[in-house]
Structure 1
Amino acid sequence: MTDKPIKVILLGDSAVGKSKMMERFLREEYNPDNSSTFGVTIHRHATEVGDKDVMIEFWDTAGQPTFKELHPSFYDRAWGCVLVFDITRKETYTHLNEWYTELLQYRKGIPCCLVANKIDVDPTVEGRSFNFATKHKLPLYYVSAASGKNISQPFDDIVKRAYECLLNPPDDIIDDVLDLIQ
């Protein structure tokens, strides 16, 4: 087991389903309650990457603008990012540029994947491509926290890629690696 957990952040507007995705992935449950995350909720998850036991900390961040002052702490020592939008609300897709720009400001070089959530509402979206993913060369996953469809795919991918990033960090975050191993 790694000495310190590997931090993976979830970003996106409020009510895109970040918390519901975590609930479905970690507990295989779904509660339709619509409560919002206040600040950040941290979920710990023990898993394996290859033959290594690793501990992951998923930071489920609040998407409301009132928590913008907290954002720098969300990014600190993160090794992966899951960027989420709600296919039923166009503005959540439009705001991806702001979230991604902020990610690059604080953690340029860490792996990121894009998740289109709520495909249970409109299953035809699965065949659609999204320019944001293509433009930024991000893996794109179509999921439904409500039904559980494809829910583990983005998390399994980002855990593996975050672990690889920790082992082979980009030059601009090498100090974080040195701090982790001391």
Structure 2
Amino acid sequence: MAASEEIHEDFDYDNDDDSTTAKIKIICLGDSAVGKSKLVERFLMDDYKPQQLSTYALTLFRYNTTMNGKSIGVDIWDTAGQERFASLHPSYYHQAHACILTFDVTRKITYKNLSRWYKELREYRPSIPCVVVANKIDVDFSITKKSFNFVKKHNLPFYFVSASDGTNVVKVFRNAIKLAVVYKEESTDFLDEVMRELEV
């Protein structure tokens, strides 16, 4: 069973010391209490716990999987409440390979704030894949009949999910992992190129 731990070290995701394992970093973005931690927990443990997690640091969830016969080490970073300060430290975005951007369908303001989070993401990671997630559809399933302009405007993959009953949660994370692996292998991001040059 996967466990979470506080982050106290700097990981170098572009310098794999184990050639048989590709290491990727996925970050979770969105307003406080939209269900980011619960989505990660549901994916990793298939266990929904209604209480709010409370920590003073970022939380790291580690997950191992395989793709096309290759081992993939996935680090999923969660904000652990730091998003309440309206922005995140640049190190949160450093060397991220994909993003899961989440809003709560029961709170309209969390949808409106997607633009702010997306803008901040693109300041630090201009071209990584970003998946948008509408969480808590179990509260009002009729929301799945609506369309969302933010997703269309930025042409982003979009999923209706429920951390409570598990709807589409595995699909979201598997897609994010797949996109992250492809991004890392094919990245033309300037910052990634600089990091590769420094590693030589």
| TM-score, with length taken from structure 2 | 0.84
CA RMSD of aligned residues (A): 1.7
Residue 102 of structure 1 deviates from its aligned partner by 0.4
Secondary structure of 1:119's counterpart equals: coil
Take 2:45 and 2:151, find their aligned partners in 1: how far apart are those partners? 28
Secondary structure of 1:13's counterpart equals: coil
Alignment match, 1:157: 175
User: Which of structure 1's runs of 4+ aligned residues deviate more than 2 A?
Assistant: 34-39, 62-68, 175-179
Give the partner amino acid of 2:50: P
Contact 1:169 1:177 in 2 (8 A): no
Q: Does 1:88 align with 2:106?
A: yes
Superposed, 1:32-181 pairs within 5 Å as: 32-36=50-54, 38-61=56-79, 62=81, 64-66=83-85, 68=87, 70-172=88-190, 173-178=192-197
Contact 1:83 1:113 in 2 (8 A): yes
Give the partner amino acid of 2:26: V
Q: Name the % identity.
A: 45
- 5+ unaligned residues in a row in structure 1: which ranges? none
Secondary structure of 1:14's counterpart equals: coil
Pick closer, same or farther for the CA change 1:127–1:177 going to 2, 3 Å: farther
Secondary structure of 2:21's counterpart equals: coil
Take 2:76 and 2:97, find their aligned partners in 1: how far apart are those partners? 10
Pick closer, same or farther for the CA change 1:52–1:178 going to 2, 3 Å: farther
Which of these two proteins has the greater Rg computed from alpha carbons?
Answer: 2
- 5+ unaligned residues in a row in structure 2: which ranges? 1-19
Higher helix share: 1
Take 1:122 and 1:176, find their aligned partners in 2: how far apart are those partners? 45
Residue 34 of structure 1 deviates from its aligned partner by 2.2
Give the partner amino acid of 1:10: C
Alignment match, 1:14: 32
Secondary structure of 1:9's counterpart equals: strand
Take 1:176 and 1:73, find their aligned partners in 2: how far apart are those partners? 14
